[in-house]
């Protein structure tokens, strides 16, 4: 492909694909409570011959101490360990040691192979992005034929 067409394609991708991707991700953010915090920021598009869509790539720490990038997989696909418990020992303020049992994965949604936010957003946005790329290339080729 000629350099000018590649340049135009990347320019249109950056200008048009980014808002499409961010809109689709934000439409699914309210599905689960953890998704709202994980996918709120860090949604980017890398333009080029192969478009790369990224979501939840922020490295800013959330209130629990984890980053959004660390929670992307459990927030997107959930867990099968929702009702499993974790036991550990703790020392109370008066110095006695006792066992604590917690459900540490309770805040995660149930396991879903198709995902909750990103996979559905990618499915909806891919059609729009491919259509935009084809239109851009076609328009650029047509303009170069008409102008030359």
Distance from chain centroid for Cα 91: 39
User: Which residues, 6 or more positions from 70, have their beta carbon under 8 angstroms from its beta carbon?
Assistant: none
2-42 pLDDT per residue, tens: 787 778 778 888 888 889 988 988 888 877 878 888 888 77
What token pair was written down for 109? Answer: 């949604």
DSSP element (H, E) containing 91: strand 86-91
- Measured CA to CA, the distance from residue 60 to residue 63 in angstroms comes to 10
pLDDT reported for residue 99: 94
The pLDDT of residue 93 is 93
The better pLDDT of the pair 97, 142 is held by 97
Q: Which of 17, 33, 50 is nearest to 121 (CA)?
A: 17
> Model's pTM, two decimal places?
0.72
Domain definitions of the chain by residue range: 3-147
Helix (H) or strand (E) holding 138: helix 118-147
Q: Model confidence over 51-97: pLDDT tens digits?
A: 888 888 888 888 878 888 888 888 889 888 888 888 999 999 999 99
């Amino acid at each position: 492909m000629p350099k000018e067409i590649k340049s135009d394609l990347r320019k249109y991708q950056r200008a048009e694909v980014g808002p499409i991707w961010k809109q689709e991700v934000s439409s699914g953010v309210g599905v689960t409570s953890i998704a709202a915090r994980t996918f709120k920021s860090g949604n980017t598009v890398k333009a080029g011959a192969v478009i790369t869509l990224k979501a939840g790539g922020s490295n800013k720490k959330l209130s629990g101490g984890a980053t959004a990038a660390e929670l992307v997989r459990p927030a997107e696909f959930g867990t099968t360990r929702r009702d499993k418990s974790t036991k550990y020992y703790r020392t109370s303020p008066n110095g006695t040691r006792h066992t604590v049992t917690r459900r540490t994965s309770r805040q995660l949604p149930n396991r879903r192979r198709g995902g909750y936010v990103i996979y559905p957003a990618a499915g909806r946005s891919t059609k729009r992005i491919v259509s935009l790329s084809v239109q851009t290339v076609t328009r650029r080729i047509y303009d170069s034929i008409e102008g030359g």
